[in-house]
Structure 1
């Protein structure tokens, strides 16, 4: 059977076509495949080079950055890190307390609380809250309601609430109040010793008294420490040095005696009120070493409320103001004359009541004349004429040198602040004008501070030595052990003991028979001198009708040691003199001083005043 030609041709066609296609594929496919593989390989290499380039660039950048961070900025970044991890802490240290010589506290740091009110948090009505707290903080309830109604939060209710009152407040357990603790300076004796102690301001810096002058002794040394801080900012005390919060128990002890201070203040205020005086002062000094046992100034202020005081009260006028001492300077002039041998204790002078010096006429107070009087009587009667005649026996340049040696024109070097130096005319002016030595003989024409006058009289009371008046005894611990005593100038010998004893005995006659009779105390020998001096005007001359009355006392005469000075500025009345205004103050102070210092009565053989005729 013959096959169909058509199928055969078709079969042949497909076979041949397939064969041609295979041949075509065999010829063309290898070329395309090689090209694609080469392209793929080229692309892979490009991507690899790019990847390596990126990695190398990144590594290089990282290396550069690490170099910047580790090498160039390493120290700076380390310091920044440490600053973030560490904190410098200067813990609060309270100021040292101030105590008197008997350990009575005069100034101390105590915890107080600032109280903030947030009425929006009250769980009771404003009126109910006000009634509860008003008696505790000593405020009016109605006023408190107005305060609470005025603001919803952040009301400062009390700036410095004492701890004991804050405890009572907290015990009420009221919502809406915030208590912030701080320390405040407290003066338990209030105005008793404000003129010596002074005060500190809100920045805890002394502004007056020893709070100012002894700032370095009152501030405890504080060690600044570095503490670690955790991630949330909390301090880590584990790394704190051992004992960094501990502080010493030292206290600044003064030479003041609070009992004597209180007695002096009482006596001074009584006389000032009686005579309507402008101001006054009392100073008590132990002449053996210059310790100030009492220093009172009136008017004064309460350092707990210093913001309410007049600013001029912060400067103690007995240290910072000058005045002409008048007749209280006469015993010192007598000592100068005796020491130079120009007079003898039994010399007699004629006092006619006035004397001409150059073109001036000098008179006694109230134009009195005393006739023939000896040196003790010159002091008894406070004779200006007798004093002029005594000083005229001295060469003016010699007299001037002695005034300088006594300390005029200088300061007393006290440890109280704001002291001013005394004033004396220039040597050329003093020597060339006869009136200058004459007026200086009875305490006018120059000026000094009350404290410096006490210092000079101290030289009469201690055998002739000029000591430094001071109120600082030193730093003492709670057991009474002294840890620090200030260095003071060595005493200077001015007069001989024989001269000073003789002058003190002459001053005794002033109390026994002269203008100081009111200062007598039975069984005690007391020397003294009154003074009623004119007040110098800032524009020259003297203020009409203005005077400073004073009295200086020394006891006991047989063994002099204590000096007491009282001054009353501008007392009013015709009978306002040193003998009537100031002498009673000195007597009251001495009556308090005798039992405090346990001064024994004078023996019967010594209890006779100097005979003014000898």
Structure 2
């Protein structure tokens, strides 16, 4: 049997056990502490390395690549928005609309998306679009998608198609220039092409006034792409309501067109024109040229019609220039208003013999009678009293040989021979005395007669009144040259009163309006050929009027090119046109009678 340790031995063994325990404990503790420190060091090292990497990356992003990244972020957050800015409307003097932008639609169809048969869709669309159903069905069968049916569908038609709620119909809105008066003022307003650029009339010459400034704005957008209006620049959607107002009166324009068309049809004429000008300021109340075109369908028109021939073509004015020669002779002191001349019917000048129309002779006649009978012989004798250089300087003073200053496009310069050629033979001055041997535009002739009507001042013919807002307030008025004094008021009035005798007792009787004093002058001129000389049998008939004689203000000119018939003269063809236009003018302008109507 084994003996248990004694108490004394047990007491000796206890310190050794404690020592062993503490030794083992501290060994384990030290070992564990060493492991923790290693781990902490590793963690610290990783953190320091990561922080350093982040710092380097942050430096690279913020300092080195910062500006580029900022710009890239802005590009992603911002969008450039180019706003559609409509072209300004054009209105007449009464603010009636002549040209405007209106929404139209491009229409594509995609038959593969139809929820009905091609035949059914064709039958639904045909009456709305004004097309044949069979023709539409054939188009639908030509391909499965992307068939263009219309490039300019009116808004009201598009609305009706929308209301059908058909699948496979694609309508895209755009804006198109529209001319509600169609061909009424085409020769003045003109048209714009598919690129919205003016090609004729004031659409071309007044492009800067009609085009509003185009704006490109940068807007912020949200993460889903929605535009953030709170970041929009102030007033970026603001668009002015200005309109280009013309001096043209649509009512008078229509009356003039109807009167001109009637006479052109009656005499089978090639073309014609009517111009009405307020001589006090040069504003044109009507400017008609026929034939014309519909600016809504300009692609179907003859391109020659895009240039208004009243400013773009030259012609010899013939006898309508005689009153101006009378004014020159009076102003230069070569004649007096009471002078008389003998008209035997012909006169020899150098190697030429000049005769009156139809070889008529009038005997002893005064200056007013020279105009009444349109005596070429009397005019030649009158101008012969002027020295050639003096007469030529007066023609230059009138503006012959120069371009007319106006706001209409495609103006050509009038033609006058050089002083050397003009002085080479007395025949030049003689033929010029009755309106041949030089050429000008119809509008320039109106301008010159305006100087007789307004006391001798050369005003600028124009059609632009200015820019007005929706309330009719003027925001811009074009400036024109200060009128140049040509004749004295006394001379001008004397000539107008002489012209009155033409209407009362002479070749202009067809323009008489009871109760109104009207001055006028007929013209039946030979038509010059493009290669020189005159076209056999071709003539231009014209009549110019000034009213009212007691306080002259308005000038009315009518021209008819190549009328047919034995009785086609200025007094028979053009004078009735001017009468009809003046009657409309009297009503529109409320011109009071000159005397009591009997």
So what's the TM-score if we normalise by structure 1? 0.87
Displacement, 1:73?
Answer: 6.0
Pair 430,67 (structure 1): closer, same or farther in 2 beyond 3 Å:
farther
* Corresponding residue to 2:417 among 414, 425, 436: 425
Residue 428 of structure 2 corresponds to 436
Residue 109 of structure 1 corresponds to 101
Q: Distance in 1 between matches of 2:76 and 2:218?
A: 12
* Corresponding residue to 2:131 among 124, 128, 139: 139
Residue 14 of structure 1 corresponds to none
Residue 550 of structure 1 corresponds to 542
Asked if 1:127 is matched to 2:119, the reply is yes
* Corresponding residue to 1:266 among 252, 255, 258: 258
- Measured against aligned partners, the alpha-carbon deviations of 1:212-270 in whole angstroms (never above 9, x if no partner) come to 11111111223321112444544333311132112111111110111000000000111
Q: Distance in 2 between matches of 1:442 and 1:338?
A: 16
Alignment root-mean-square deviation, CA: 2.2
- Measured against aligned partners, the alpha-carbon deviations of 1:53-94 in whole angstroms (never above 9, x if no partner) come to xx89x989995x988876666545544443343232221111
Pair 369,185 (structure 1): closer, same or farther in 2 beyond 3 Å:
same
Residue 396 of structure 1 corresponds to 388
Asked if 1:521 is matched to 2:513, the reply is yes
* Corresponding residue to 2:525 among 510, 513, 533: 533
Residue 82 of structure 2 corresponds to 90
Asked if 1:158 is matched to 2:158, the reply is no
Q: Distance in 1 between matches of 2:268 and 2:275?
A: 21
* Corresponding residue to 2:218 among 213, 226, 236: 226
Residue 449 of structure 2 corresponds to 457
Displacement, 1:478?
Answer: 1.2
Aligned to 2:108, the other structure's residue is in SS state: strand
Residue 281 of structure 1 corresponds to 273
Asked if 1:405 is matched to 2:414, the reply is no
Q: Distance in 1 between matches of 2:343 and 2:377?
A: 6
Aligned to 2:478, the other structure's residue is in SS state: coil
So what's the TM-score if we normalise by structure 2? 0.89
Residue 354 of structure 2 corresponds to 362
Displacement, 1:375?
Answer: 0.6
Pair 67,439 (structure 1): closer, same or farther in 2 beyond 3 Å:
farther
Aligned to 1:551, the other structure's residue is in SS state: strand
Residue 193 of structure 2 corresponds to 201
Pair 203,352 (structure 1): closer, same or farther in 2 beyond 3 Å:
same
* Corresponding residue to 1:321 among 310, 313, 329: 313
Asked if 1:496 is matched to 2:488, the reply is yes
Flag structure 2 segments of 5+ consecutive residues without an equivalent: 1-41
Displacement, 1:335?
Answer: 0.3
Displacement, 1:433?
Answer: 2.3
Q: Distance in 2 between matches of 1:68 and 1:491?
A: 73
Displacement, 1:271?
Answer: 0.7
Q: Distance in 1 between matches of 2:69 and 2:522?
A: 78
Q: Distance in 1 between matches of 2:238 and 2:168?
A: 35
Asked if 1:100 is matched to 2:92, the reply is yes
Residues 591-606 of structure 1 mapped to structure 2, 5 A cutoff: 591-604=583-596
Q: Distance in 1 between matches of 2:55 and 2:352?
A: 102
Q: Distance in 1 between matches of 2:78 and 2:160?
A: 39
Q: Distance in 1 between matches of 2:312 and 2:225?
A: 52
Displacement, 1:368?
Answer: 1.4
Aligned to 1:114, the other structure's residue is in SS state: strand
Aligned to 2:284, the other structure's residue is in SS state: strand
Q: Distance in 1 between matches of 2:230 and 2:355?
A: 83
Q: Distance in 1 between matches of 2:424 and 2:64?
A: 80
Higher gyration radius (CA): 1
* Corresponding residue to 1:247 among 239, 250, 253: 239
Matched length: 554
Asked if 1:349 is matched to 2:341, the reply is yes
Aligned to 1:564, the other structure's residue is in SS state: strand
Q: Larger deviation: 186-195 or 88-97?
A: 88-97
* Corresponding residue to 1:486 among 463, 469, 478: 478
Q: Distance in 2 between matches of 1:192 and 1:151?
A: 42
Q: Distance in 1 between matches of 2:64 and 2:460?
A: 63
Q: Distance in 1 between matches of 2:61 and 2:384?
A: 90
Displacement, 1:430?
Answer: 1.4
